[in-house]
Amino acid sequence: MTQEQFQDQWTAVDSYLTDQLAPADEALNAALAASDAAGLPPIQVTPNQGKLLSLLAQMQDARTILEIGTLGGYSTIWLARALPENGRLISLEYNPVHAEVARANLARAGLDKIAEVRTGAALQTLPKLATEPGAGTFDLVFIDADKQNNPSYVEWALKLSRPGSVIIVDNAIRGGTVVDADSTDPAIVGTRQMYELLAREPRLDATAVQTVGAKGYDGFLLARVVA
């Protein structure tokens, strides 16, 4: 099969799985439509990936979630829905237009009491968050922003965690380019530095899984804070 035929098949299978297991509802559809109308890039997680995030958050019995990279709040909705009514999600977004679209999408989904979007570069907003009284720790951290900063984001996630916290990183494979040790692409360099950090950090136990689907060949990284 050609690359295009593979992609068509991955998309068809994702569409089947989504219809069966992760059907859209009004709030999710509205979030995608509003993101599209505002000109945001269509780089949200797929519905079945969103469902995976939601299931992982539920298995973790998460009460507090940190997300780095909000876009229009699509993954935020899936994650926030996994929280109890008194749960709390903080999502960090650099682009103020993305943040505004996300806030409207969260309000429409009835999640604005649970989920808050903070505007600014995450490396600026994370230190502020860490000094807030009662900022506490997060049960789950989802990292999905600028990939070159992934090593710093994992370090921050660790700082804001407790033993048993879970860290998930999207786009951990990037079409297989992650194995290119000579790459000068900052996203790949950053992702590889993230793996090196995970390999030597005894407080984190991690794995990564390659995935194919409607958004191509990529994967996610899953880490657990052990101590």
Question: Residues in the site for ligand DHB, rule: CB under 6 A?
Answer: 43, 144, 170-171
Q: How far is the CB of 153 from ligand DHB (least distance, A)?
A: 12
Nearer to ligand SAH, 98 or 192 (CB): 98
Nearer to Mg ion, 137 or 177 (CB): 177
Picked from ligand DHB, ligand SAH, Mg ion, none, the partner binding residue 195 (CB below 5 to 8 A depending on kind) is none
| By CB under 6 A, residue 103 contacts ligand SAH | no
Helix, strand or coil for residue 154? helix
Question: Which of the ranges 8-16, 42-50, 189-197, 206-214 carries the binding residues for ligand SAH, by CB under 6 A?
Answer: 42-50
The interaxial angle of helices 96-108 and 26-37, nearest 10 deg, is: 160
Question: Which stretches of 95-149 are DSSP H helices?
Answer: 96-108, 122-131
Q: How far is the CB of 143 from ligand DHB (least distance, A)?
A: 10
What letter would DSSP give residue 136?
A: -
Q: How far is the CB of 162 from ligand SAH (least distance, A)?
A: 23
Residue 222 has phi, psi (to 5 degrees) of -125, 125
Kind of pairing between the strands at 140-143 and 64-68: parallel
Q: How far is the CB of 98 from ligand SAH (least distance, A)?
A: 4
Among 14, 32, 44, 56, binds ligand SAH (CB under 6 A): 44
Q: How far is the CB of 126 from ligand SAH (least distance, A)?
A: 9
Are 185 and 177 in contact by the 8 Å Cβ rule? The answer is: yes
- Report the half-sphere exposure of 38 (CA within 13 A, side-chain side): 20
For tokens 């370090």, the residue is 155
Joined together, the tokens standing for residue 138 give 């997060």
Residues engaged in binding ligand SAH (CB under 6 A): 43-45, 69-71, 74-75, 92-95, 98, 121-122, 144-146
